[in-house]
Chain A
Amino acid sequence: MSGSEFVPLSLTPMLIGILAAVACALPGNFLVLRRQALIGDAISHVVLPGIVVAFLLTGVIAAWPMMLGAAGAAVVAVILIEAIRRLGRIEPGAAMGVVFTTMFAAGVLLLEQTDTSTVHLDVEHALYGNLESLIWLDATGWASLLDPVALAGLPVELSRILVTLVAVVGFIWLFWRPLKLSTFDEGFARTLGIRTNLLGLALVIVAAVAAVAAFDAVGSIIVIAMFICPPAAARMMTNTLEGQVGWSVIFAILSAVLGYVLAGYGPMWLGARDAVSAAGMIATISGLILALAARFGPCRTRSGAPVQV
């Protein structure tokens, strides 16, 4: 395949896929270890009402209001889950189930009630994203990477997800020690004076920001899959947190690249004409990686823990 075809059509979607996958997998490591993996699931459901409300308030499909709306909805959801859990004394899983299904239902209802026929906003789009359409039309070949005029035409989603990834990496790098401590031994972390509640909330917010930025480009399936599958697979490979984070980044990149290539070119190899959903394929590949790790990973079993009934 020539650069003149690859660079404009496939380079940017692939890059965006990789960046989104890594941005979600990094906080996902901590969420999986803290048994909060389903926060990612909840966030990706409540993003829909947030986006719809933002659209209703501003009347336009623009990136920033929608991201703000989505982030706001995520924070509202986290607060509601916590409130219902404490006020009603309900187990966290059920509280989460109550909140995210209700907010998602409200989002669908709002969407049906408003006239969105003139704009591109629907439930399917929210679920699958539109990774394939994030092409770089100004590019003509590999040389365009050095051409400032062509670079100005890069899809905005790329720079947005890049900024998000930098922010996520910055957060984890800055708070590495407290995060590690409070993840494995919250009581000990508290005695050292680490404010674990605040840190936990910050982690959820960082995850929400990553989810919202990724959601914008790749849809909610990738978001949930990348929060959980690469960290879970990495968990089977090593016993150290550093190793786990490293493996999860490798797995995330691998799923994004393989998934994108298989979705875009796989059907053609099999003789079909059209590509299949890249978002769905990336999630599928991450699942295959997890399955392989769960079957053959060196650290896949619980060590020392009794077998659960």
Chain B
Amino acid sequence: MLRDALLLQLGYNATLVAVGATLLGISAGVTGTFLFLRKRALVSDAISHATLPGICLAFLLMVALGGDGRSLPGLLAGSALSAWIGLLCLNWLTRNTRLAEDAAIGAVLSVFFGFGIVLLTVIQTLGAGRQAGLEGFLLGSTAGMLWADALVIALGGAATLALILLIRRPMTLVAFDPEYAAARGVPVHRVDLAMMGLVMAVTVVGLKIVGLILIVALLIIPPVTARFWTERSDRVVLLSGLTGGLAGYLGAAISASAPNLPTGPIIVLVAFAFFALSLLVAPGRGVLAALLRHFRFQRRVHLRQGLLALAQGQPIFEQLTLRLLRRADLVRADGVATDAGRARAAKALRDETRWQIVRADQTHEAAAALYDGLRDIETVLTRDQIAEIDSRIGGPQEVPA
């Protein structure tokens, strides 16, 4: 069943949903990256909640004009309008009052959503059954998606991607360094607004599939996931689009494969699975990589301290140090140093003396700053410099047994 779903063999509607979800995931992932890099990820939460009153008002207006009230383009236009108003309120509150951005986000989100709920109850009292389609926008409803709906979503997604391609450079610049961007003459405020406009477009397009509460997840989770794997912004954008698209596709397929699996939440959970995996295993920024780095560092410290202790003839009691030395064949099982161990120990002690001279000498100031007790002196100084230092220390002396 799942195999059929993944190969788009589950019928017309499931295929439409899968294609739509994939496109949505890609554009949300790409757009969300800039939002995330600008550290304004939660603005999308305010925007998405602010769509609700617009949907309801558009519905009321279309009914008043004698229509059915459920035409998707009309509802989406209404949602875009109210999201834009919400966004302007948000910007005005943060720029002209003392409120911090998070308080402004929360205020816009709750007030617009509350007003939307009031309008929903108004619509409920108008006539039985007609509002059924509207509540689907809260959590998304992909059952009974029409070809025209899919077309709207596909066109919207494609337009969003094209716009991002056009203004990705100023957006990257503003995301990393707004002051520098302003100094270069980039209209920071307008670029910010454009970025938010893109977020709004993605939100509006995604209303039908994942709903307004969960669209935030598609804007936030893929960029955060992608950030684990690379340090370059263009690759984050690519990876994030890829993760988002994959999450959309897999989520739609899984949800079509069995009953009672709502599309929106499944897509979000798939995206989260990617995130959790990246958090664990990503090289560099992942948790496992950090643990490995920690253990490697610990081993180096223990080995170094063990060698210095051997060189000075002190007994070693630390079990980990002994185990590491024994595994490297530097000491025998009874704790006595082997030949190799004595040589390495003598070298460690000599290096320590060399470092002392380096650190006492003003001319080696830059090198001395690199001293951390672990660094090999050969990686910092040239052979000639070491020879010069050695001439101050004198020749090799006998290492105490």
The judgment on whether A and B are partners is yes
**Which residues in A have some Cβ–Cβ distance to B below 8 Å?**
32, 35-38, 40-41, 45, 84, 87-91, 93-98, 101-102, 104-106, 108-109, 112-113, 123-124, 127-128, 221-222, 224-225, 227-229, 231-232, 235-236, 263, 267, 272-277, 279-284, 286-287, 290, 294, 299-303, 305, 307-309
Least CB distance, B94 to chain A, in whole angstroms:
7
C-beta contact mask, B372-390 vs A, less than 8 Å → 1, else 0?
0000000000000000000
Interchain CB contact under 8 A, A113 and B117:
no
Q: What are 9 A-B interface contacts by the 8 Å CB criterion?
A: A97-B41, A112-B262, A127-B117, A224-B113, A231-B103, A232-B104, A279-B114, A284-B118, A309-B188
Q: List A contacts of B179 (CB < 8 A).
A: 309
Question: Is B95 interfacial (CB 8 A cutoff)?
Answer: yes
Which residue in A37, A108, A222, A290 is a CB contact (below 8 Å) of B265?
Answer: A108
Interchain CB contact under 8 A, A309 and B182:
yes
Q: List B contacts of A41 (CB < 8 A).
A: 45, 105-106, 109-110
Residue from A109, A236, A272, A299 whose CB has the most chain B CB atoms within 10 Å: A109
Q: List A contacts of B261 (CB < 8 A).
A: 109, 112-113
Which residue in B40, B213, B262 is a CB contact (below 8 Å) of A109?
Answer: B262
Least CB distance, A265 to chain B, in whole angstroms:
14
Please name the 4 residue pairs, one residue from A and one from B, whose CB atoms are nearest each other, closest first: A283-B114, A287-B111, A280-B117, A101-B217
Interchain CB contact under 8 A, A228 and B110:
yes
C-beta contact mask, B118-149 vs A, less than 8 Å → 1, else 0?
10111011000000000100110000000000
A88 and B216 CA atoms in complex are apart in Å by 19
Interchain CB contact under 8 A, A102 and B103:
no
Interchain CB contact under 8 A, B214 and A101:
yes
Q: List B contacts of A98 (CB < 8 A).
A: 217, 220-221, 224, 272, 275
A243 and B269 CA atoms in complex are apart in Å by 44
A212 and B194 CA atoms in complex are apart in Å by 37
Residue from B103, B113, B227, B228 whose CB has the most chain A CB atoms within 10 Å: B103
Which residue in A94, A124, A263, A287 is a CB contact (below 8 Å) of B107?
Answer: A287
Interchain CB contact under 8 A, B114 and A94:
no
Q: List A contacts of B116 (CB < 8 A).
A: 280
Which residue in B97, B114, B275 is a CB contact (below 8 Å) of A221?
Answer: B114
Main secondary structure, interface of B, reads: helix
Interchain CB contact under 8 A, A281 and B268:
no
Interchain CB contact under 8 A, B121 and A280:
yes
Main secondary structure, interface of A, reads: helix
Question: Is B266 interfacial (CB 8 A cutoff)?
Answer: yes
Q: List B contacts of A225 (CB < 8 A).
A: 107, 110-111, 114
Interchain CB contact under 8 A, B114 and A101:
no
Least CB distance, A167 to chain B, in whole angstroms:
23
Question: Is B100 interfacial (CB 8 A cutoff)?
Answer: yes
In the complex, besides A98-B275, A112-B261, A222-B114, 4 extra interface pairs with C-beta distance below 8 angstroms are: A101-B216, A102-B221, A105-B264, A309-B178
Q: List B contacts of A88 (CB < 8 A).
A: 224, 228, 279, 285, 287
Question: Chain A residue with minimal CB distance to B52?
Answer: A280
Question: Chain B residue with minimal CB distance to A95?
Answer: B224
Q: List A contacts of B124 (CB < 8 A).
A: 274
Interchain CB contact under 8 A, A87 and B220:
no
Interchain CB contact under 8 A, A309 and B224:
no
